[in-house]
Structure formats: C-alpha cells, structure tokens
Chains A and B, each alone.
Chain A
Amino acid sequence: KNEVEQSPQNLTAQEGEFITINCSYSVGISALHWLQQHPGGGIVSLFMLSSGKKKHGRLIATINIQGKHSSLHITASHPRDSAVYICAVSRGGSQGNLIFGKGTKLSVKP
C-alpha cells in the first residue's frame, strides 16, 4: 500500500466548477506539500502546510493532521487549471526528502 494516496486519479470538470482533490497518508509527517505539474512537464510548489488552511488566489489547501488527510480545492475552475496535482509529505529528521502521491490529472473544459 502506498504511503501517500490521492483521489481521484483523473478528474474532468466544466469551467467554473468547484474542484476538490484529496490526499491521505499513513506515516507521521512534519509537513504536506501540494505541487502542480503543467502539461509541458514543469513542476511548481503550490503549498506547504503543517496545520489548518492556506489560500492563494482561487486555490485553498487544508490539512487534518489527526485524520492524516489533506484536500486541495480550486474555486471557479478555469481551463488553465488543467494540470496534474501532486501531494507529497515530508517526514521529520534531516533527510529532507519527500514521499509523493501518484498525482491527480485535472482537465477543465471550457
């Protein structure tokens, strides 16, 4: 069983819809990361959070540490949001490496 699970694997939405991508993990973590991989392949970090909620523009990330679960929400979705969204967790210690989920492929239709 993967230590980081994402759902759904694929998601198709109409422009303007509210989108939720879920991430659950089975290990103790110090932080959880949400990343976006563009269709061209580039990867950018969206959020890093260890508690509560963070908001950036139309993107909102929440985490429930006790429940070992995080969600990424996109409000008023737009075709330019089409990408693969990746959840990753970092564990404590000095190693500094991440454990990645397999990603959720989002396609937003106009």
Chain B
Amino acid sequence: NAGVTQTPKFRVLKTGQSMTLLCAQDMNHEYMYWYRQDPGMGLRLIHYSVGEGTTAKGEVPDGYNVSRLKKQNFLLGLESAAPSQTSVYFCASSPGSLSLTTDTQYFGPGTRLTVL
C-alpha cells in the first residue's frame, strides 16, 4: 500500500496562475483533509471531506477550492495564486471522524508551493 500520496512534490507559480494539487489514498478512508503549514504556525485546515462527493470549509479556505469526485482522491485547486499562498501543503486521511478515539490520521509527504 502506498498510503497517502501527493502530486506534485514541488511547484513554482507566478501570481495569478492556477494549479491543482492531487491527493490520493489507498486505505479506503472516508475522511480526507488539506492543510497548509507556514513557518512559526501550526498546521491549519483548509478544507476537508467526510466522504465521496462532500466537502467542507476549514479554518483558512479563502482562495482555495476542493473536489472529492472519487473516494480515493481529494483535489485542492488554486484558481488565481497569490504570494500569500506560498506554503507547504499536506494532505491527510482518516478512517472516520477524529473525534472518535479509535481513529488516527495519515499524512502525505507534502507539496512545497512557491508563488512569485
């Protein structure tokens, strides 16, 4: 099993360009998440999904869109990239809600995005 994979690993964009980050998991998990990690700050939730066809906003959703057309994939889109979106993006998945004490979260390797 590959676990959680992310594509691409690195990307440089110019302001105003668009791109899509792909997250894939092969563990049949219901829940998937997109986070961003910035220096001096904890991981912050951008969007999440509690199942195929569903998405919900997290703490910092502005400037991002997501889609979960297939259970195994969770896409994060930047329609018009801004320098403030320079960050490391992590995808994660979990079998169910993390409020359940039996579930843990599995992370992808991260995508380092620079917006010039």
Chain A interface residues toward B at CB < 8 A: 2, 4, 30-31, 33, 41-45, 48-50, 86, 88, 90-103
List, in ascending order, chain B residues with CB within 8 A of A86's CB: 42-43
Main secondary structure of the interface of B (DSSP, over half): loop
**CB <8 Å contact, A97 and B98:** yes
- Looking at the assembled complex, report how far the CB atom of B2 sits from the nearest CB atom of chain A, in whole angstroms: 14
Given known contacts A86-B42, A102-B41, A102-B42, A42 and B99 CB-to-CB distance under 8 angstroms: no
- A and B contact pairs by CB, cutoff 8 A, 15 listed: A4-B42, A30-B100, A41-B109, A41-B110, A42-B109, A88-B43, A90-B99, A95-B50, A95-B56, A96-B48, A96-B98, A96-B103, A97-B48, A102-B40, A102-B41
Interface check B104, CB cutoff 8 A: yes
How many B residues are at the interface, by size bracket? 20 to 34
Chain B interface residues toward A at CB < 8 A: 31, 33, 40-45, 48, 50, 56, 58, 88, 90, 92, 94, 96-101, 103-107, 109-110
